[in-house]
Amino acid sequence: MSPNDTRSTPARLTAPATTKLPRVLLLVLGVVYIFSGLFFRDPWKTDDVVGLATMLTALHGPAHAWLLPQVGVLAHAQDGPLPTWVGAFSIWLFGPLFEHFTSSLNASIIASRLPNLLWFALVTSSVWYGTYLLGRRPEPQPLALPFGGEPTVRDYGRMIADAALLLIIATAGILLRMHETSEVPAIIAFQALAFYAVARMLDRPLSGAVTLGVALAGAFLTRGWIGALPIMLAIPFIFMPRSALWHGKQWLIITAVVAISLVALWWIPAHQIGAYWMQNWWLWNINSFSWPRYETAISILRDLPWFLWPTWPFAILAIWRWRSWLASPHIWIPLMFAFWPLAFMFFLTDVFEPEYSLMAVPVAILAAFSLPTLRRGVVNSLDWFAVMCFSLTAATVWLGWIAMQTGWPTQIAHNIARQTTGYEPHVAPAAVLIALAATAAWLGLVRWRLHSKPLALWRGTVLSACGLVTTWVLLATLWMPAIDYVRSYRDVSAQLSTALQTYKRPHECVRALGVGSGQRASFLAFNNINFSYDSHCTLILQQTSPQSLENGRAAYSGAAESGAAQVLWQGKRGPDRREIFRLLRIVKP
Same domain, 317 and 216: yes
The whole-number pLDDT of residue 95 equals 97
Say yes or no to pLDDT of 552 above 90.
no
- Number of domain units in the chain: 3
Distance of alpha carbon 576 from alpha carbon 589, whole angstroms? 34
- Better-scored residue on pLDDT, 587 or 468: 468
Planar angle of CA 11, 15, 19, nearest 5 degrees: 110
Boundary-marking domain end, from 344, 373, 402:
373
DSSP 492-552: HHHHHHHHHHHHPPTT--EEEES--HHHHHHHHHHH----B--TT-SEEEEEE-HHHHHTT
- Are 496 and 569 spatial neighbours (Cβ–Cβ below 8 Å)? yes
Q: What is the pLDDT of residue 144?
A: 86
Q: How many CB atoms lie under 10 A from the CB of residue 517?
A: 17
Query: What whole-number distance in Å separates Cα of residue 173 and Cα of residue 355?
Result: 11
Residue 561 pLDDT level (bands cut at 50, 70, 90):
very low
CA-angle at 208, arms to 204 and 210, nearest 5°: 130
pLDDT level of residue 338 (50, 70, 90 thresholds) = very high
Confidence of residue 550 (pLDDT cuts 50, 70, 90): confident
* Buried b or exposed e, range 543-567, using 16+ CB within 10 angstroms: bbbeeebeeeebbbbeeeeeeebee
Q: Are residues 402 and 353 in the same domain?
A: no
CB of 332 within 8 A of CB of 238? Answer: yes
Look up the domain containing 505 and give its range.
490-586
pLDDT band at 214 (very low <50, low <70, confident <90, very high): very high
Does 276 lie in the same domain as 309?
yes
Provide CB contacts within 8 A for 273, sequence distance 6+. 64, 67, 68
pLDDT value at residue 589: 62
227 and 149 assigned to the same domain: yes
- pLDDT grade, residue 60 (50/70/90)? very high
> Do 210 and 354 share a domain, yes or no?
yes
| DSSP track, 257-325 | HHHHHHHHHHHHHHHHH-HHHHHHHHHHHHHTB----HHHHHHHHHHHHHHTTTTHHHHHHHHHHTGGG
> What residues does 511 pair with on adjacent strands?
532, 540
**Residue 424 resides in a domain:** yes
Q: Per the domain annotation, does 120 fall within a domain?
A: yes
459 assigned to some structural domain: yes
Q: Quick check: is 10 in a domain?
A: no
Nearest of 314, 367, 374 to residue 142 by alpha carbon: 374
> Do residues 174 and 41 lie in contact, with contact meaning Cβ atoms separated by under 8 Å?
no
**226 - beta bridge partners?**
none
Structural domain contains residue 559: yes
Q: Between 82-98 and 104-112, two packed helices, what is the crossing angle to 10 degrees?
A: 130
Which pLDDT does position 574 carry in this prediction?
83
Q: What is the pLDDT of residues 430-471, one digit of tens each?
A: 999 999 999 999 999 999 998 888 888 999 999 999 999 999
The domain boundary residue, chosen from 443, 470, 487: 487
C-alpha torsion sign, points 388, 427, 173, 577: negative
52 lies in the same domain as 178: yes
Q: How confident is the model at residue 558 (pLDDT cuts 50, 70, 90)?
A: low
CB 112 within 8 A of CB 87: yes
